[in-house]
Amino acid sequence: MSANGPQPPPRRVRVTSPRRDATLRGPVRPLTAEIDERTGLGEVYMAALMRAQLRLGVSVLLATAVLLGGLPLLFLAVPGASEVRVGPAPLPWLALGVMVYPVVVVAARYYVRHSERIERDFTDLVARR
């Protein structure tokens, strides 16, 4: 405090740059260069892509194996099912010999569509940076 009483707060001053269009940081290096040169950041991005595709592949494989591997177990658990005939062929033969193919085709289409989506999302991410 001074003899004249309390001092008023200092006046606020706005500080601006004379160059309003100045970049705040250096040039941004494209992420594709990081991936091509196998730098640490590029390796992280590639590992994430590979991990996502591996997770998709393992999940599709496990789901298909459970569905197809469960059929023989189902026929063992229900003994009367192995005696059922569809036309001249027994039901287990028909299920394991013919009905397996649509399951495999659906699993393959699911895998391809989701794998392409993962790659498209990765490409969009790399292009954005």
The reply to whether the predicted model has a pTM over 0.75 is no
Confidence of residue 33 (pLDDT cuts 50, 70, 90): low
Output the pLDDT for position 22.
61
Question: Above 60 in pLDDT, residue 1?
Answer: no
Tens digits of residue pLDDT in 70-112: 888 888 888 887 788 888 888 888 888 888 899 999 999 999 9
Q: Where are the domains of the chain?
A: 57-128
Per-residue burial over 12-32, b if 16 or more Cβ lie within 10 Å, else e, is eeeeeeeeeeeeeeeeeeebe
* Rounded Cα–Cα distance for residues 43 and 34 (Å): 8
Q: Contact, 90 vs 84, CB < 8 A?
A: yes
CA nearest neighbour of 96 among 107, 88, 104, 87: 104
